[in-house]
Amino acid sequence: MTTEAKSSSRERLLEAAAALSYRDGVNIGVDALCKAAGVSKRSMYQMFESKGALLAASLEEHASAYVTTLLPAADDNRPPRERILHVFAQAESQAVSPDFQGCRYLVAQIELKDPDHPASRVAHRVKENLTAFFRTEAERGGANDPDLLARQLILVFDGASARAGIKADTPTGLLAPTVAVLLDAADMR
C-alpha cells in the first residue's frame, strides 16, 4: 500500500469515526467504522492499535476546529467579559443545528465513562482547555474568584450542550442572560 493510500485510508477512518461516533455513539462497531471508511479491519489495526486509539485520534483531529469555532481569535481585543460571551453565542448558534447532539467531547466522556480510555483523555484535555480559557478571561476581567467562575461557566456550557443535544431544551435566549448573571456576581468587567 502506498503512503498516499495509507494516508487516505487513515483520513477516511478518522472521518468515519468522527461522524459515526457522534451520530450513533462511541460504541459503534469496528465493522461499521471500517465499512463506512472503505477500509479493511486489518488495515485499520495496522494504522491504529485499537478502536479506542482511533476514537482518540479522531477527537484529537477535530480539536483545533472545535476551539477555532468556539473561542475568539487570539488577537480579538474585546474585553474579557465579551470574549466569554462570544463562546456562549457560538455554542448557542451550534445548538440550533438539527444534527446537533451536544458537545462531542462531553458526549464521548459520558458514553465512555472510563477516564483512562484514550478518547476520554483527549476529551478531558479539550474540556480542561476550555475551562482554562474561562479562568484566564475571568482573571483578566478582575473576577473575585476566577477558579469558581470558570467552573460555573463550564457547568453552564456543558449543561446547555447536553440539554440541547438530547433535544430537551434550546439554549436560545438562555445562555447570554445566565452567563451575564454569573459574570455580574463575580464582579467581572
Q: Over 60: is that where the pLDDT of 6 sits?
A: no
Domain assignment of residue 28, given as a range: 1-48
Assign 189 a pLDDT band (cuts: 50, 70, 90).
confident
CB neighbour class for 72 (10 Å; exposed up to 12, middle 13-18, buried from 19): middle
Number of domains in the chain: 2
CATH number of the domain to which 29 belongs:
1.10.10
Please choose, from the candidates 144, 162, 146, the residue with its C-alpha nearest in 3D space to the C-alpha of residue 84. 146
Phi, psi of 115 (to 5 degrees): -65, -15
Report d(CA 68, CA 91) in Å as an integer.
12
pLDDT digits (tens, 9 = 90+) for 100-135: 999 999 999 999 999 999 999 999 999 999 999 999
Q: What is the pLDDT of residues 30-75, one digit of tens each?
A: 999 999 999 999 999 999 999 999 999 999 999 999 999 999 998 9
Does 53 reside within a domain?
no
Residue 160 grid cell: 446547555
Query: Within its chain, how far is the Cα of 105 from the centroid?
Result: 4
**Rounded to two decimals, what is the model's pTM?**
0.90
Do 30 and 101 lie in one domain? The reply is: no
DSSP string, 91-129: HHHHHTSTT--S-HHHHHHHHH--TTSHHHHHHHHHHHH
| 74 and 150 housed in the same domain | yes
Identify whether residues 24 and 94 lie together within a single domain. Answer: no
Cα distances (Å, whole numbers) of residue 37 to 9, 18, 41: 7, 11, 10
